[in-house]
Amino acid sequence: MAITFTRRSFVGAAALAGALPSALRAAPTVFPTGTTIYDPAKAWSGYTVLSTLDTPAVLVIDMNGRTVKRWDGFNLSAGGPARVLPGGVLVGPQGAFPRHQESTALVAVDFAGNELWRFDAAEEIEIDGVRQGSARQHHDWQSADWPAGYYSPDFSPGAVGGRTLLLTHTSHSSPAVAGVLLEDDRLVEVDAEGRVTWEWRAADHIDELGFAPAARAAIARLGTRDGYDWLHLNSARYLGPNRWHDAGETRFHPDNVIVSSRSASLVAIVARDGSVAWRIGPDFSETPEQRALGQVIGQHDAHLIPPGLPGAGNLLLFDNGGASGLGDSSPISPLGNAIYQRATSRVLEIDPVSLALVWSYAAPNFFSTNISGAQRLANGNTLITEGAPGRVFEVTPEREIAWEFMNPPGEGGRRSNAVYRAYRLAYGWIPQLPAPREVAIVAPVPGTFHVPGTPED
């Protein structure tokens, strides 16, 4: 059965609030997991790859929520995401650097789990007194021949181990940022032999990131101990082929890299010479075009939609909301590290040249304060990872839900059901799996649904 039941704590319970004394009021304890909505006529059906935060494995599910493939031994809570290439090849992070949100290696394995490629030589680190090589990779990575890192009918990534971009950490000092040892964000590009052929450190370019004096003061003030993760980039992606560059916009060269900073509410494009070629934020009141978009807060997964998909060339990102942004101290942000706050999320599709809003998704109770992402699908739908509550769902351009999946609690000690990021891919990309059985699932009406076995009113 596609829907199972487990326990979960919710804040608020309107159905009970007026019926019980305040001391006895409680939230519902049962909620469905698995696929809860599936309209085969409106969804873009395929396999969904889940990078979950509390299960040390990569899971592949079909449209009815059945786990059809599992690769164990991947550390998605540190380095995520995992991606599956054509032929059933998995690439994902392994190993963890204690007390650091990073993996020690980026690894490719075949369908059976045999290792095909490994990169673990960005920097040397020490774990329990032992020196070892490490990728120091966190949050993101991408193959150069795979625009946006997800399915498009126009692209089929080649063999693993080609030119690869990794978002990593590096430890160094930079008085322009703060007076402590930084855990700085570093982009590295490696070739087929694992040699670093290009790199970029964020702290070297702090003057180009649009920080006002109050924000610069907050950055320095918040650096109170070594290992300061001052910018906290959470995605890094090659721009890939795009119509803007084809029209002569040099800022959008396919090899340039777009990065996203959760802490600063900043999205920027890094050129190959290291300069910051384009940015939005951190202050979205800076220009009329950004004011029209509204303040983006703590966003994730900023990328250009790849060719072959509706909206190709537009910027797609998950605007988390929550709290982020740097500036003066205030009653709502005593340290000046959360000057922007909003308890709702949005998915935004933006023309990156005019900054016009092309499409967006928002809804009541749609909110993930961290992680999350969005993927444009071949039929024009958008797959959205609402990461913190473990919800992955597909919406049509008219914002109708065509598919929805609630991740069950994981296998780790936290019993978290959070999903870092999810990707949909064509069935044919994993030919080792038999054709799945697709069964439509209609969501029950909330006001009349009963747990099986209980009397119906």
How far is it, in rounded angstroms, from Cα 229 to Cα 141? 19
Nearest CA to 203 out of 219, 190, 221, 191 is that of 219
Residue 456 burial (CB < 10 Å; 0-12/13-18/19+)?
A: exposed
Residue 293 three-state SS: helix
Cis amide prior to 81 (ω within 30 degrees)? yes
DSSP result, 226-284: SSB--S-EEEEEE--S-HHHHTT-GGG-TT-EEEEETTTTEEEEE-TTS-EEEEE-S-T
Per-residue pLDDT tens, the chain, 457 aa: give them.
344 433 333 333 333 333 444 444 456 678 889 999 999 999 999 999 999 999 999 999 999 999 999 999 998 888 889 999 999 999 999 999 877 889 999 999 999 999 999 999 999 999 889 999 999 999 999 999 999 999 999 999 987 889 999 999 999 999 999 999 999 999 999 998 999 999 999 999 999 999 999 999 999 999 999 999 999 999 999 999 999 999 999 999 999 999 999 999 999 999 999 999 999 999 999 999 999 999 999 999 999 999 999 999 999 999 999 999 999 999 999 999 999 999 999 999 999 999 999 999 999 999 999 999 999 999 999 999 999 999 999 999 999 999 999 999 999 888 899 999 999 999 999 999 999 999 999 988 888 888 888 886 5
* Backbone φ, ψ for residue 243 (5° rounding): -70, -25
Residue 124 parent element (H or E): strand 123-127
Residue 342 three-state SS: strand
Cα–Cα distance list, 438 to 3, 273, 383 (Å): 15, 49, 18
Nearest CA to 189 out of 120, 136, 235, 143 is that of 143
**Per-residue pLDDT at 191:** 94
**Per-residue pLDDT at 445:** 87
pTM for this predicted structure? 0.93
For residues 340 and 360, is the Cβ–Cβ distance under 8 A? Answer: no
**Per-residue pLDDT at 299:** 98
* Backbone φ, ψ for residue 37 (5° rounding): -140, 135
Tokens 């490490």, residue? 134
Tokens 């494009």, residue? 269
For residues 100 and 94, is the Cβ–Cβ distance under 8 A? Answer: no
Find the largest Cα–Cα distance for the chain: 69
* Backbone φ, ψ for residue 428 (5° rounding): -65, -15
Overall size of the chain counted in residues: 457
How far is it, in rounded angstroms, from Cα 268 to Cα 260? 7
Q: Where are the beta strands (DSSP E) in 281-379?
A: 300-304, 315-319, 322-324, 340-342, 346-350, 357-361, 373-376
**Per-residue pLDDT at 342:** 98
Boundaries of every domain in the chain:
4-429
**Per-residue pLDDT at 95:** 94
How far is it, in rounded angstroms, from Cα 412 to Cα 178? 36
> Which option is the CATH number for 4-429: 1.10.238.10, 2.120.10.30, 3.40.50.300, 1.50.10.10?
2.120.10.30
How far is it, in rounded angstroms, from Cα 78 to Cα 416? 15
For residues 285 and 291, is the Cβ–Cβ distance under 8 A? Answer: yes
Cα–Cα distance list, 163 to 119, 122, 255 (Å): 12, 14, 11
Q: Which two tokens stand for residue 173?
A: 């000092």
